[in-house]
Each structure stands twice: as structure tokens, then as C-alpha cells.
Amino acid sequence: MNTDTGRVPADAQRPFRLIVTGGGTGGHTYPALTAVRTLQARLAAAGRGLDVLWVGTADSLESRVAAGEGIRFAAVATGKIRRSSNPLKLVSPANVKDMGRVPLGVAQARKLVSGFEPDVVLATGGYVAVPVGMAARMCRRPLVVHEQTVRLGLANRSLARKATCVAVSSESTLPLLPEPARATAVVTGNPVRPEVLTGQADKAVQALGLQRFDRRLPTVYVTGGAQGSQQINHLVRDILPWLLTCANVVHQCGPANLPELRQHTAALPPELAARYLLTGYVGPELPDVLALADVVISRSGAGTLAELTALGKAAVFVPLATSAGNEQAHNARHLAEAGAAVALPADPTPGTLRDAVAPLLTDAGVRTAIAQRARTYGRPDAAERLVDVLLSVAAR
């Protein structure tokens, strides 16, 4: 599919109309938001407005994000299909009840699509995307499906055959698409928030009071996401005295985990404590913290991978074992097999974490090589590429 054009379709007399759907998690919601912002900027530069309707689940992350951005929001009924390797469990009462909600959701979505008359519908995954994507097909409106992970999610797998175009984040996803969808599929990457790419290390030092860090040593950023990860926290806690002998550490542990970790780390010798920052949450300083970090220890969600590869960071991934379809393990393995990251095995121990991170801290050459390979997988222009697809599909 040719998406080389960055042109805005003619008919600049009216705003470009976009329905965006997807949510349930930040991995589906924030790429969609980044795409909306990028499309709005592209259209504004051409003197055209953007009219957006976000269709999602009531009282959800996407509803709150849309409200915060001043984006019109409409809710439709949807149902969650609970996965199981046992076929009998797939027809559990909860699944049967939820599947019964899908026709209602499709009817609601069809009314919304028909009334809004979008130039294009963007679906980024999550269960709510299914009825909206089906409605787009019924109303003969262009549908672009965006997949963030290496493997297709359930919602996007079901919509791929109905899509005008499937945009994927990795070449490795292309063979997994249904045969009819491969001919029009495009590798765009996963949209990354622009501010993540503009961090400055010195700003992190000033904002977080890290003047006692030894800048001759590498800096490790530990994060388990906004709420923190008890698993990652405990793994790092148990190797912390060793870790601080060879690195500075910014440890974002999650607000609820802060008291416990403060108690455990209070006995650190002063010379090691000087190189350790424990914080519940990193907010606007995150881009600067990432700029400061030489190594990142984190989960391996699609958004995290997109940001770290776009920045070219050496990372040690601790996949979330309970992620849908075990997608975090697949994400981490995808980069690890290419030498672009280190992935811990299932049920990691403090010893396996130490063995994984030690070469990155003691050998700058190893750290640099992994960071450079990671950068080759990064697509900092993914949002622009996805907008190219949306405009190209709408212009047909």
C-alpha cells in the first residue's frame, strides 16, 4: 500500500471527521491519543480542522482521557472474552453473557458511525474496538486497524479481515495477519508521545535533586509502570547493595509500595544511599529521567518497547506473566533474540536479574551495542506514519 503522501485530502471547507476506538488499557488508549494529536497538527498546518468522536466503554480509561483532551465521547456496550486453554471454559456463563452484549454494541456503534459519517475509523484494539470496527464495515466507512504488539490481539485479529488497512508496529507481525489483510498491511511502528523524545539528563538531575549521583557511573532507571510492580521492586531490593556499587539508581516503585521499600532501604550506607532515589511516581520529569538512564529495568508492554527503542536504550525486561496472551513475554523475546534487549525468564530470581544487568553496567561496549540494536527497532516517527495511512485511506 502506498502511503508516501503526507497530503491532506482536498475539501478543506469542512473539518476532517475521525472516529477513534480502542481502550481498556493505556497500551491501546495512548497510541490512539498520540495519533489524534498528530493528525490534528497535520490538518491545522494545512488550514483544516479535525472533528473527533471517541467511541469506547463507559467509565473507562479512554473516557477519562477523551474528557481530559476535550474530545467528544460516546459509549457502546461490549463484552470481554475470558481466555482459557480449556474449550469448555470459553463457554462459561460470564463469557456467554458478555458475548450476548456484542450485538447491542454493534447496533449502538452502527448508529454512531452512520450519524457521524467519519472520513475514516481508527481502531487500536481492546474489546470495544470490535463492535465499532464491524459498524464501520457495515456503513462502508474506511477502517484502519492499528496493532501495538508483536502478536495480534484478539480484537484486532477479528477486525483484520474487515479493515481497509492494518497498520502494525513490527515486520514480525505481518506473517501473523490473515492472508487477505497482508496485501494492504503497513508497518508504521507504535506511536510514541513526542515529549518522551525530548528529555534532557541535566534537567532530571536538577528536578529530582540528584546532584549526589556519580555521573561517572551508569544510571539505572527501574520502573514497573505508574502503579509499580511488586515483583520488580523485590528483585531490585534484593540486589540493591550490589547494584549501587556500580550504578546510580532511580527507582520508581509505585505509591503504594513506597513505605515498605523505604523501610528496607533505610539501612543503606551513606555512600550508596547518595546514588539511590526511591520515588513512588515519576510525572513530567519522565522524559528527562529516560534521557539520564543508561539502562532501564521494566516490564515489556508495547508502549514501553516503543519508547525505549525510539530512544535507543539498553533494557532488561521483566515480562508480566499475566499479560493477555502472554504478549509481554513475546515482546521481550522478540528484541532479546535480536540482541536488542535482555529478557528475564519466567519466575526470575534476584540472581538472574543480577546476572542479566551486570554486563550492561560493567562493560560500556556491551551496553552501547544493545542500545544501538534497540534503536534500529525504534520508530520515533510512528505517529506521523500512522497519520499518513489515515489520510491516504480517507482520500481513496
pLDDT average per 10 residues of sequence, the chain (396 residues): 51 86 91 97 97 96 96 88 49 54 89 98 95 96 95 89 95 92 94 95 97 97 93 97 97 96 94 97 96 97 96 97 83 95 95 98 97 97 98 94
Q: Which domains does the chain have, with CATH numbers?
A: 16-192+380-394 (3.40.50.2000), 194-376 (3.40.50.2000)
Per-residue model confidence as pLDDT tens digits over 140-162: 999 999 999 988 888 899 999 99
Per-residue model confidence as pLDDT tens digits over 108-144: 999 999 999 999 999 999 999 999 999 999 999 999 9
Sign for the pseudo-dihedral over CA of 54, 60, 63, 69: negative
CA-only gyration radius of the chain, Å: 22
Amino acid identity, position 394: A
pLDDT of residue 322: 80
Q: pTM of the entire structure?
A: 0.87
Are 134 and 162 in contact, with CB atoms under 8 Å apart? yes
Sign for the pseudo-dihedral over CA of 54, 58, 61, 65: positive
Cα distance between residue 253 and residue 23, in whole Å: 25
Tell me whether strands 72-75 and 50-56 are parallel, antiparallel or unpaired: parallel
Q: Rounded to the nearest 5°, which phi and psi values hold at 173?
A: -80, -25
Cα distance between residue 35 and residue 192, in whole Å: 9
CA proximity to 197, closest of 89, 343, 306, 282: 306
pLDDT of residue 13: 72
Q: Which three cell numbers stand for residue 50?
A: 479535525
Q: Which neighbouring-strand residues pair with 167?
A: 146, 186
pLDDT of residue 3: 47
